[in-house]
Amino acid sequence: MSGSAPSIEVALVQLAPEFGNPSANLDRVEAMLGDVEAALVVLPELATSGYSFIDRAEVRAASETFPHGPTTERLAALSKRTGGFVVAGFVERDGDHLYNAAVIVAGGQPVGTYRKVHLFGFEREIFDVGNRPFAVHEHDGLTVGTMICFDWVYPEAARSLALLGADVIAHPSNLVLPGRCQAAMPIRAMENLVATATANRHGVEHREPRPRLAFTGESLLLEGGGREVARGPAEGGAVVRGRIDLGASRLKRFPSGNDLFVERRPDLYVDWSSQAQ
Protein backbone atom coordinates (compact mmCIF):
# COMPACT_ATOMS: atom_id res chain seq x y z
CA MET A 1 0.00 0.00 0.00
CA SER A 2 1.24 3.49 -0.72
CA GLY A 3 -0.05 7.03 -0.61
CA SER A 4 -3.44 7.69 0.97
CA ALA A 5 -4.73 4.20 0.02
CA PRO A 6 -8.49 4.67 0.52
CA SER A 7 -9.05 0.92 0.86
CA ILE A 8 -7.04 -2.09 1.99
CA GLU A 9 -7.31 -5.87 1.91
CA VAL A 10 -7.51 -7.58 5.32
CA ALA A 11 -7.30 -11.30 6.15
CA LEU A 12 -8.37 -12.84 9.47
CA VAL A 13 -7.05 -16.34 10.16
CA GLN A 14 -9.57 -18.36 12.21
CA LEU A 15 -8.02 -21.61 13.45
CA ALA A 16 -7.85 -23.98 16.42
CA PRO A 17 -4.20 -24.16 17.51
CA GLU A 18 -2.69 -27.43 18.67
CA PHE A 19 -1.66 -26.86 22.28
CA GLY A 20 2.09 -26.67 22.77
CA ASN A 21 3.09 -27.06 19.12
CA PRO A 22 4.01 -23.63 17.72
CA SER A 23 5.85 -24.99 14.70
CA ALA A 24 2.83 -27.02 13.55
CA ASN A 25 0.51 -24.10 14.22
CA LEU A 26 2.61 -21.76 12.10
CA ASP A 27 2.78 -24.42 9.37
CA ARG A 28 -1.02 -24.45 9.36
CA VAL A 29 -1.26 -20.66 9.21
CA GLU A 30 1.10 -20.54 6.26
CA ALA A 31 -0.85 -23.26 4.46
CA MET A 32 -4.19 -21.55 5.12
CA LEU A 33 -2.95 -18.23 3.78
CA GLY A 34 -1.31 -19.71 0.70
CA ASP A 35 -0.65 -16.86 -1.73
CA VAL A 36 -2.95 -14.36 0.01
CA GLU A 37 -1.75 -10.77 -0.19
CA ALA A 38 -3.09 -8.30 2.37
CA ALA A 39 -2.15 -5.03 4.01
CA LEU A 40 -3.11 -6.62 7.33
CA VAL A 41 -3.28 -10.26 8.47
CA VAL A 42 -4.55 -10.97 12.00
CA LEU A 43 -4.26 -14.28 13.87
CA PRO A 44 -6.04 -15.23 17.12
CA GLU A 45 -4.85 -14.67 20.66
CA LEU A 46 -2.10 -17.13 21.67
CA ALA A 47 -2.30 -18.50 18.13
CA THR A 48 1.03 -20.27 18.28
CA SER A 49 0.73 -21.93 21.69
CA GLY A 50 -2.88 -22.64 22.58
CA TYR A 51 -4.66 -21.09 25.55
CA SER A 52 -5.27 -23.34 28.57
CA PHE A 53 -1.97 -23.23 30.42
CA ILE A 54 -2.00 -25.02 33.77
CA ASP A 55 0.67 -22.93 35.49
CA ARG A 56 3.43 -20.40 34.92
CA ALA A 57 5.95 -23.15 34.28
CA GLU A 58 3.98 -24.15 31.19
CA VAL A 59 3.68 -20.52 30.16
CA ARG A 60 7.43 -20.03 30.51
CA ALA A 61 8.12 -23.15 28.44
CA ALA A 62 5.99 -21.69 25.63
CA SER A 63 7.39 -18.16 25.88
CA GLU A 64 9.67 -16.35 23.46
CA THR A 65 11.60 -13.13 23.44
CA PHE A 66 11.13 -10.32 20.94
CA PRO A 67 12.48 -9.58 18.36
CA HIS A 68 14.66 -12.66 17.96
CA GLY A 69 12.32 -15.53 18.81
CA PRO A 70 11.33 -18.17 16.24
CA THR A 71 7.70 -17.00 16.06
CA THR A 72 8.74 -13.43 15.30
CA GLU A 73 11.17 -14.61 12.65
CA ARG A 74 8.64 -16.85 10.90
CA LEU A 75 5.89 -14.27 11.01
CA ALA A 76 8.24 -11.58 9.72
CA ALA A 77 9.01 -13.81 6.74
CA LEU A 78 5.27 -14.36 6.29
CA SER A 79 4.64 -10.61 6.32
CA LYS A 80 7.16 -10.14 3.54
CA ARG A 81 5.15 -12.62 1.47
CA THR A 82 1.72 -11.20 2.29
CA GLY A 83 2.91 -7.65 1.74
CA GLY A 84 1.91 -5.84 4.93
CA PHE A 85 1.30 -6.21 8.65
CA VAL A 86 0.89 -9.53 10.44
CA VAL A 87 -0.41 -9.38 14.03
CA ALA A 88 -0.54 -12.62 16.03
CA GLY A 89 -0.98 -13.70 19.64
CA PHE A 90 1.99 -15.34 21.40
CA VAL A 91 3.61 -15.60 24.85
CA GLU A 92 6.26 -12.93 25.31
CA ARG A 93 9.03 -13.35 27.88
CA ASP A 94 10.88 -10.33 29.26
CA GLY A 95 13.18 -11.35 32.08
CA ASP A 96 11.02 -12.98 34.75
CA HIS A 97 7.84 -11.51 33.27
CA LEU A 98 5.46 -13.47 31.04
CA TYR A 99 2.88 -11.68 28.92
CA ASN A 100 -0.16 -12.66 26.90
CA ALA A 101 1.01 -10.59 23.96
CA ALA A 102 0.70 -9.89 20.26
CA VAL A 103 3.70 -9.75 17.98
CA ILE A 104 3.51 -7.12 15.25
CA VAL A 105 5.59 -7.50 12.11
CA ALA A 106 5.44 -5.80 8.73
CA GLY A 107 7.26 -5.97 5.42
CA GLY A 108 9.59 -8.70 6.62
CA GLN A 109 10.66 -6.90 9.81
CA PRO A 110 9.72 -7.01 13.50
CA VAL A 111 7.83 -3.88 14.50
CA GLY A 112 6.77 -4.31 18.12
CA THR A 113 4.62 -6.14 20.65
CA TYR A 114 1.47 -5.34 22.57
CA ARG A 115 1.07 -6.84 26.06
CA LYS A 116 -2.52 -7.54 27.06
CA VAL A 117 -3.72 -5.00 29.61
CA HIS A 118 -7.05 -6.57 30.67
CA LEU A 119 -6.51 -10.21 31.61
CA PHE A 120 -9.51 -12.57 31.62
CA GLY A 121 -10.31 -15.27 34.19
CA PHE A 122 -7.44 -17.62 34.98
CA GLU A 123 -5.06 -15.59 32.80
CA ARG A 124 -4.57 -13.48 35.94
CA GLU A 125 -2.95 -16.48 37.67
CA ILE A 126 -0.34 -17.20 35.02
CA PHE A 127 0.43 -13.99 33.09
CA ASP A 128 1.75 -10.62 34.12
CA VAL A 129 -0.50 -7.66 33.36
CA GLY A 130 0.61 -5.61 30.37
CA ASN A 131 2.86 -2.76 31.45
CA ARG A 132 2.95 -0.52 28.37
CA PRO A 133 0.52 2.11 27.09
CA PHE A 134 -1.57 1.39 24.03
CA ALA A 135 0.35 2.28 20.86
CA VAL A 136 0.05 2.32 17.09
CA HIS A 137 2.50 1.31 14.38
CA GLU A 138 2.85 2.57 10.81
CA HIS A 139 3.98 0.76 7.69
CA ASP A 140 3.58 1.79 4.07
CA GLY A 141 0.99 4.44 4.86
CA LEU A 142 -1.19 2.25 7.11
CA THR A 143 -1.48 2.85 10.87
CA VAL A 144 -2.46 -0.17 12.97
CA GLY A 145 -3.32 -0.34 16.66
CA THR A 146 -3.58 -3.57 18.63
CA MET A 147 -5.68 -4.83 21.51
CA ILE A 148 -6.29 -8.43 22.63
CA CYS A 149 -9.57 -10.24 23.29
CA PHE A 150 -11.06 -9.07 26.64
CA ASP A 151 -9.78 -5.54 25.99
CA TRP A 152 -13.01 -5.15 23.98
CA VAL A 153 -14.96 -4.82 27.25
CA TYR A 154 -13.13 -1.58 28.08
CA PRO A 155 -14.10 1.27 25.71
CA GLU A 156 -10.94 3.11 26.75
CA ALA A 157 -8.81 0.62 24.82
CA ALA A 158 -10.34 1.23 21.40
CA ARG A 159 -10.72 4.96 22.10
CA SER A 160 -7.03 5.23 23.01
CA LEU A 161 -6.00 3.57 19.76
CA ALA A 162 -8.35 5.75 17.72
CA LEU A 163 -7.01 8.91 19.38
CA LEU A 164 -3.50 7.75 18.51
CA GLY A 165 -4.50 7.67 14.83
CA ALA A 166 -5.20 3.99 14.14
CA ASP A 167 -6.74 3.32 10.73
CA VAL A 168 -7.66 -0.16 11.92
CA ILE A 169 -7.52 -2.01 15.24
CA ALA A 170 -6.08 -5.53 15.04
CA HIS A 171 -7.85 -7.65 17.66
CA PRO A 172 -6.43 -11.17 18.20
CA SER A 173 -8.99 -13.05 20.30
CA ASN A 174 -9.95 -16.28 22.06
CA LEU A 175 -13.62 -15.44 22.63
CA VAL A 176 -15.78 -17.76 24.73
CA LEU A 177 -18.87 -15.59 25.40
CA PRO A 178 -21.14 -16.33 22.42
CA GLY A 179 -22.03 -13.26 20.40
CA ARG A 180 -21.11 -10.66 23.00
CA CYS A 181 -17.93 -9.30 21.47
CA GLN A 182 -19.43 -9.55 17.98
CA ALA A 183 -22.31 -7.38 19.24
CA ALA A 184 -19.98 -4.86 20.89
CA MET A 185 -17.37 -4.39 18.17
CA PRO A 186 -19.73 -2.56 15.77
CA ILE A 187 -20.25 -0.08 18.61
CA ARG A 188 -16.49 0.30 19.08
CA ALA A 189 -16.13 0.86 15.32
CA MET A 190 -18.99 3.37 15.29
CA GLU A 191 -18.15 5.39 18.40
CA ASN A 192 -14.51 5.76 17.29
CA LEU A 193 -14.99 5.75 13.50
CA VAL A 194 -12.21 3.18 13.27
CA ALA A 195 -12.03 -0.13 11.40
CA THR A 196 -11.68 -3.26 13.52
CA ALA A 197 -10.30 -6.70 12.66
CA THR A 198 -11.18 -9.42 15.21
CA ALA A 199 -9.51 -12.78 14.52
CA ASN A 200 -11.07 -15.38 16.81
CA ARG A 201 -10.21 -19.05 17.25
CA HIS A 202 -12.69 -21.92 17.06
CA GLY A 203 -12.96 -25.38 18.57
CA VAL A 204 -12.74 -26.76 22.11
CA GLU A 205 -9.79 -26.84 24.49
CA HIS A 206 -9.93 -28.75 27.79
CA ARG A 207 -6.89 -29.35 29.94
CA GLU A 208 -7.59 -30.34 33.54
CA PRO A 209 -7.97 -28.63 35.95
CA ARG A 210 -8.86 -25.75 33.63
CA PRO A 211 -12.49 -25.49 32.52
CA ARG A 212 -13.67 -26.81 29.18
CA LEU A 213 -13.59 -23.85 26.80
CA ALA A 214 -15.61 -23.70 23.59
CA PHE A 215 -14.34 -20.87 21.40
CA THR A 216 -16.94 -19.07 19.34
CA GLY A 217 -15.37 -18.37 15.95
CA GLU A 218 -17.16 -15.69 13.92
CA SER A 219 -14.06 -13.62 13.24
CA LEU A 220 -15.29 -10.18 12.31
CA LEU A 221 -14.09 -7.39 10.00
CA LEU A 222 -15.74 -3.97 10.30
CA GLU A 223 -15.23 -0.61 8.65
CA GLY A 224 -15.06 2.59 10.65
CA GLY A 225 -18.68 3.39 11.43
CA GLY A 226 -19.51 -0.25 12.08
CA ARG A 227 -20.42 -1.64 8.66
CA GLU A 228 -19.80 -5.40 8.59
CA VAL A 229 -17.48 -6.36 5.74
CA ALA A 230 -16.85 -10.05 6.50
CA ARG A 231 -17.63 -12.63 9.18
CA GLY A 232 -16.28 -16.12 9.73
CA PRO A 233 -18.26 -19.26 10.56
CA ALA A 234 -19.09 -20.15 14.17
CA GLU A 235 -17.31 -23.48 13.73
CA GLY A 236 -14.34 -24.50 11.63
CA GLY A 237 -11.25 -22.85 10.27
CA ALA A 238 -11.31 -20.10 7.67
CA VAL A 239 -9.41 -17.21 6.20
CA VAL A 240 -11.93 -14.39 6.43
CA ARG A 241 -11.11 -11.75 3.84
CA GLY A 242 -12.47 -8.38 2.92
CA ARG A 243 -11.60 -4.95 1.59
CA ILE A 244 -12.23 -2.05 3.92
CA ASP A 245 -12.51 1.64 3.11
CA LEU A 246 -10.33 3.77 5.37
CA GLY A 247 -12.24 6.98 4.70
CA ALA A 248 -14.22 7.00 7.95
CA SER A 249 -11.14 6.07 10.00
CA ARG A 250 -9.29 9.08 8.64
CA LEU A 251 -12.02 11.70 8.26
CA LYS A 252 -13.56 11.17 11.71
CA ARG A 253 -16.81 12.87 10.74
CA PHE A 254 -20.34 11.61 11.20
CA PRO A 255 -22.82 12.09 8.33
CA SER A 256 -24.27 14.96 10.38
CA GLY A 257 -21.00 16.83 9.94
CA ASN A 258 -19.90 16.43 13.55
CA ASP A 259 -16.14 16.00 13.96
CA LEU A 260 -15.80 13.09 16.37
CA PHE A 261 -12.63 14.16 18.13
CA VAL A 262 -12.66 17.94 17.70
CA GLU A 263 -16.02 18.07 19.49
CA ARG A 264 -14.94 15.95 22.45
CA ARG A 265 -15.12 17.68 25.86
CA PRO A 266 -12.44 16.03 27.99
CA ASP A 267 -12.55 19.04 30.33
CA LEU A 268 -16.00 17.87 31.44
CA TYR A 269 -15.46 14.11 31.53
CA VAL A 270 -14.71 12.07 34.62
CA ASP A 271 -10.99 11.55 35.16
CA TRP A 272 -11.05 7.77 34.81
CA SER A 273 -7.59 7.38 36.28
CA SER A 274 -8.80 8.86 39.58
CA GLN A 275 -11.78 6.50 39.85
CA ALA A 276 -9.94 3.18 40.18
CA GLN A 277 -10.65 1.39 43.45
Amino acid 258: pLDDT: 96
> Cα–Cα distances in Å, from 34 out to 82, 172, 187, 220?
9, 20, 33, 21
In a domain, residue 265? The reply is no
The domain tally of the chain equals: 1
Q: Give catalytic status of residue 45 as yes or no.
A: yes
Any domain includes 2: no
Instruction: Name the stretches of the chain with pLDDT < 50.
Output: 1-3
Which residues lie below 8 Å from residue 182, measured CB to CB, with a gap of 6+?
175, 198, 216, 218, 220, 231
Domain containing 33 — which CATH number? 3.60.110.10
Domain annotation covers residue 271: no
| H or E element that contains 123 | helix 123-126
Task: Given the residues 58, 64, 149, 205, select the one marked as catalytic.
Answer: 149
pLDDT reported for residue 272: 74
What's the pLDDT at 2? 46
Q: Do the domain assignments include residue 277?
A: no
By residue count, the chain amounts to 277
Which residue out of 9, 45, 58, 218 is catalytically annotated? Answer: 45
Question: Pick the catalytic residue: 9, 58, 92, 116?
Answer: 116
State which residues form the domain around 70.
Answer: 7-252
Is residue 167 a part of any domain in this protein? yes
261 lies in some domain? no
Q: Is residue 116 part of a domain?
A: yes
Q: What pLDDT, on a 0 to 100 scale, did the predictor assign at position 273?
A: 74
**Annotation marks residue 116 as catalytic:** yes
Q: Give yes or no: 181 in active site.
A: no
State pLDDT tens for residues 123-141: 999 999 999 999 999 999 9
Please indicate, yes or no, if residue 210 is contained in any of the structural domains.
Answer: yes
For residue 67, whether the previous peptide bond is cis, meaning omega lies within 30 degrees of 0, is yes
